[in-house]
Structure 1
């Protein structure tokens, strides 16, 4: 007999739902495909699909199977979902049904689930009751009701929602599916056909929004994206490791992850450029220089082509060859595609002559003529193959070659800046820089079209150069993108100045720019302090307004004059870390890159174990030592920021340094201690 206690009933539904999910998984595991596959290839494909389905149906014991409930006043419309008057829907991370096929948990992405995120007292969306559930581990321990259609009940702040937002961060980034806000949900559910750019300050959830948008698009457009593919691009491997569990927790296992460096890894990067050189190599004007250099390999014919077949000789005169070549050039198609088309065009000219002579050649004859030695020799002379790496090598090492193709595009001083100062003997001996690899990727695309995906998520996009934007844009020319970033956190010398400019380089000028200003991660006192930098690093950008009820722990500690030597100063920094380790949650010690080795040594001497960025925090290892250059995108419950002036001074210029400081100041979820012996940057003074 069912209990009258609401919490007991909800726990019973959770137990039944978990049992139903186990049954769904067991049904898939028991499938016998021996009699339904025609060959071993089909069997392999079907087996892989079954294995993926089994993984997607895994019941994660510490992840709530459902987190909310909707009680509708009336049956949802036919365009929404099935349902009868007064129907109740449990909202969770994935769909679960019973043995009869009736839903026990509705996927959060389904249309009928949308009011869970959008409904309000002002706009109830036909919802009588919205119930949120609280969990401890995987156990349902609490619930909270909102009677949205009851005019006598006033709207209040959800305590469970606040608790979920403020829950300590231990381990990798987790999903926000239970706490998505209405303005976030609008972005998450935006259509596949359009590109969305999300400008969001620290803690506004832009990364989570981007990942949940991928999950939504895979739900709404499964077949299309299964064919075309999806990709998440992050700034570095540590960041990708940090976010890699979000989509699997939502049941999406097939989304690939990469950095921009991974995308353009045509050569091994072993060198580094000066900032001014890297900025110029990343300038969009380099695309025109490369285009000219590639097309310059084409040479107009100087003699006829004579094709011998049996006892007959067929001649394609020079003027006709020139017309064919010029027509291909005028079409401005990929260099490689035009080169592949040229022998067929020459062969077609021969076939026209054959037909005039009374012969009846077919496609096989045309293919044979295209492979004729005389035709192949002419193609090699007129339209030789181009090796992209060798092309970039020549541009950067041959002053005359660069000057020829950069005339009117780059000044002489700019040409000298990007040209290698020392002669390099061969391609194999080059120590390629990161910007060189992007140039090679551009040249590669000029020769052969880059494969385009259905959807790409580009995170921390503000740090890309125009040429890097082009490299990403090539991966979604026929698809859409979600662009995520914060102009105030641009810390590269080539950081973008506006989203309009960045989206133009990406090839997505029509993208909609959305701004998130509500902060869910950074405490009020911390974000208020960090926002003192905004007028100096991003004038006009709206500061983040924290919506957290807990103001957080925040303190600026000046290290005593007598403790300003390196050893004593490090001891005070370690003491601050130990103080925060006494609390629940993860701790990040962030410092200028040049100070990290000294702090690592001091931690070891003090017997305080620590992790490197990307290593997963656990209950026994909760302190991570983070170089300032790798802090972007990461978050910790508590942060100790060592020596802000050193963070600023570690960058090529003050503005970039202040932006790096802004990043490091906003990594804390619950509390921040700033320690300093040197004077703080003047921009932080209140």
Structure 2
């Protein structure tokens, strides 16, 4: 590794710096070429011009050179030129010399010179894969792998591995460790320079299949999911441009924390949302008690909704009589009933079947017309389908349905619920979800998040939900079966990447088994991968938190930290009040990096006041940390998915007691204990949970 101040001016580091400067100039030229495009005479109309202009704007943004982000982070020297090079059709697929391919710089995006030869190769290109996968055992035709160290955007060091040299023993990369342990201020950053082989296998998995990643704290599962999106957009850009991609997170704070990762990789078109955003058919103004939420989130509610919806389909009591000029055409009630049964037996959506019924009745009329010697065409059939008699018959037999009104009636009408939940929900379960004070209208109803999911299910029974090409679902362990179904509807014809940790489930309906969860998602054929190598949480911290695993997820293996730095870890008994907690925060703020003060939700107001009185500035979850504001006060309920260089965890017993039951409380505590990247101080005046103190 070379990072000494006395390097020769013409040495390897100087040459690499020269290549970096030339690559930045080439990227700037690529951007200027796009900015100079004249589209005034290449589009047929203003709509096409607007679309093309937007595409050009996105391309310009994607070619931005971020001054504090390394343009390339590695280099591969091949023993032989890699034959065909990058995949055909990709951005790098143009003629190059063999010599140009023997030494390749790997970076966040492709950069080429004026002749079209690559100066930086996209990390997602097949030719870059050995940077992540090559080893002494399988060098993949790579003679040398070089990693680069940066300070800001300045190249300051390099480190070489001679993979094809049997005499050189494998060594742990110091630069890799430094990058993993680098203090973090601000939103989550990409891990493109530090992706490990087991992570790369998941990132590059094909688009056709769904992948579920079980990963403990610090294993990088969120980053893997985001980099998988970036890879799929590279490998299948045209297809996903048509079908769309979506990242689903647990809350707005989490989405804000991860929102810069994909843009840093040059991907600007991926949408982000919470499950609540997906099902926002009504305004949510209430919360269910745990018992009601568990029943409403149960997959059996889908059958209750289906029964309730199709109970509206009736049996015709009268024939349909259509008047055309001087003739009257009569479709008997039994024949209409047969048409209704045929549509029910087909199992198509309620709304699609209702739309098809007028045409079926009209067709029966046309058959009679043809038998009478007439020659009606499609226009006649459409006119019959739109006739008053047919419309009235359809309205009586197959009335229009509103999903919110359907759910409203189920929750407000005990008799209606009982009729359609019979044999599905017990009487106690029915009582648990019935509203004590029934609302009179959809607008006046106080809907809960679980109610909104039920409405989404009902809406899909009526009209099919559009499917996306790929969905990433993070922190999936906290979803109810009905929420899984809501997400699954968004990728029925696409695939998904499911990310989670069974040990971090903190809802009353938290996932206990990935196969069961994937079945609710509609992806029961998905592959489940487990990440057990911890890159983020220090050894002493994860070992302490893992004391809880036998009590919260006995089947899971603890995370094995690969961090060389053991990190700071202390458990401090404090006096009553908040003075010692504030002092611990001050202590950690003297170090480099972000600091999180995590506490039971009920303790947050008191701690906020104490920090303010002490003159210690602090942010709330979702607010971006800066060098001037590095302390975030985090309620335990919002800690999931977030990370800080240093954490002060206040009163573990209060975190456990703040949940409805001890099991959920211990899982919440496990989450809070594993948010630290470099150090953790646990402060407590009351006794610690016995699960932490037991040997």
List per-residue Cα deviations over 1:191-245 (Å, max 9, x = no partner). Answer: 0000000000000000000000000000000000000000000000000000000
Name the counterpart of 1:413. 428
Alpha-carbon distance in structure 1 between the residues aligned to 2:363 and 2:311: 25
State the shift of 1:77 in Å.
3.0
Q: Are residues 1:31 and 2:37 paired?
A: yes
Aligned residue pairs total 678
List per-residue Cα deviations over 1:560-600 (Å, max 9, x = no partner). Answer: xxx32xxxx31100000000000000000000000000000
List per-residue Cα deviations over 1:640-684 (Å, max 9, x = no partner). Answer: 000000000000000000000000000000000000000000000
CA 360–3 in structure 1, closer or farther in 2 if over 3 Å, else same: farther
Alpha-carbon distance in structure 1 between the residues aligned to 2:238 and 2:420: 45
Name the counterpart of 2:440. 425
Name the counterpart of 1:293. 308
Alpha-carbon distance in structure 1 between the residues aligned to 2:9 and 2:594: 40
Name the counterpart of 1:630. 638
List per-residue Cα deviations over 1:155-189 (Å, max 9, x = no partner). Answer: 10000000000000100000000000000000000
Name the counterpart of 2:56. 50
Name the counterpart of 2:676. 668
List per-residue Cα deviations over 1:515-536 (Å, max 9, x = no partner). Answer: 0000000000000000000000
Alignment partner of 1:135: what SS? strand
- Spell out structure 1 runs of 4+ moving beyond 3 A: 79-83
Name the counterpart of 2:616. 608
Select which of 293, 299, 302 maps to 1:278. Answer: 293
CA 51–652 in structure 1, closer or farther in 2 if over 3 Å, else same: same
State the shift of 1:424 in Å.
2.6
Q: Is the 8 A contact 1:611 1:624 kept in 2?
A: yes
Name the counterpart of 2:501. 486
Name the counterpart of 1:314. 329
Q: Are residues 1:391 and 2:411 paired?
A: no
Select which of 130, 134, 142 maps to 1:119. Answer: 134
State the shift of 1:314 in Å.
1.1
State the shift of 1:428 in Å.
2.1
Name the counterpart of 1:333. 348
Q: Is the 8 A contact 1:76 1:83 kept in 2?
A: no
Alignment partner of 1:555: what SS? strand
Alignment partner of 1:428: what SS? coil
My pick for the range that moved more, 232-241 or 425-434, is: 425-434
Alignment partner of 1:427: what SS? coil
Alignment partner of 2:238: what SS? helix
Name the counterpart of 1:361. 376
Q: Are residues 1:378 and 2:393 paired?
A: yes
Alignment partner of 1:409: what SS? coil
Select which of 650, 653, 657 maps to 2:661. Answer: 653
Alpha-carbon distance in structure 2 between the residues aligned to 1:15 and 1:296: 70
Alpha-carbon distance in structure 1 between the residues aligned to 2:439 and 2:51: 48
Alpha-carbon distance in structure 2 between the residues aligned to 1:455 and 1:503: 15
Name the counterpart of 2:91. none
Q: Is the 8 A contact 2:652 2:688 kept in 1?
A: yes
Q: Is the 8 A contact 1:131 1:144 kept in 2?
A: yes
State the shift of 1:366 in Å.
1.1
Q: TM-score, normalised by structure 1?
A: 0.98
Select which of 4, 7, 15 maps to 2:10. Answer: 4
Q: Are residues 1:523 and 2:531 paired?
A: no
State the shift of 1:363 in Å.
1.3
Select which of 674, 681, 686 maps to 2:689. Answer: 681
State the shift of 1:80 in Å.
4.9
State the shift of 1:353 in Å.
1.3
Alignment partner of 1:612: what SS? coil
Name the counterpart of 1:205. 220
Name the counterpart of 2:93. none
State the shift of 1:318 in Å.
1.0
State the shift of 1:422 in Å.
2.3
State the shift of 1:83 in Å.
5.7
Alignment partner of 2:246: what SS? strand
State the shift of 1:360 in Å.
1.6
Q: List alignment gaps of at least 5 residues for structure 2.
A: 1-7, 88-95
Select which of 68, 84, 88 maps to 2:98. Answer: 84
Q: CA RMSD in A?
A: 1.0
List per-residue Cα deviations over 1:394-426 (Å, max 9, x = no partner). Answer: 001111100100011011111111111223333
Alignment partner of 1:440: what SS? helix
Alpha-carbon distance in structure 1 between the residues aligned to 2:148 and 2:86: 24
Name the counterpart of 2:4. none
Name the counterpart of 1:156. 171
My pick for the range that moved more, 148-157 or 80-89, is: 80-89
Alpha-carbon distance in structure 1 between the residues aligned to 2:593 and 2:565: 15
Q: Is the 8 A contact 2:653 2:686 kept in 1?
A: yes
Q: Is the 8 A contact 1:580 1:587 kept in 2?
A: yes
Name the counterpart of 1:104. 119
My pick for the range that moved more, 537-546 or 314-323, is: 314-323
Q: Are residues 1:185 and 2:193 paired?
A: no
List per-residue Cα deviations over 1:468-527 (Å, max 9, x = no partner). Answer: 000000000000000000000000000011001100000000000000000000000000
Alignment partner of 2:57: what SS? helix
Q: TM-score, normalised by structure 2?
A: 0.97
Select which of 606, 616, 621 maps to 2:629. Answer: 621
Name the counterpart of 2:231. 216
Q: List alignment gaps of at least 5 residues for structure 1.
A: none
Q: Are residues 1:434 and 2:434 paired?
A: no
Q: Is the 8 A contact 2:85 2:127 kept in 1?
A: no
State the shift of 1:79 in Å.
6.6
Alpha-carbon distance in structure 2 between the residues aligned to 1:174 and 1:488: 25
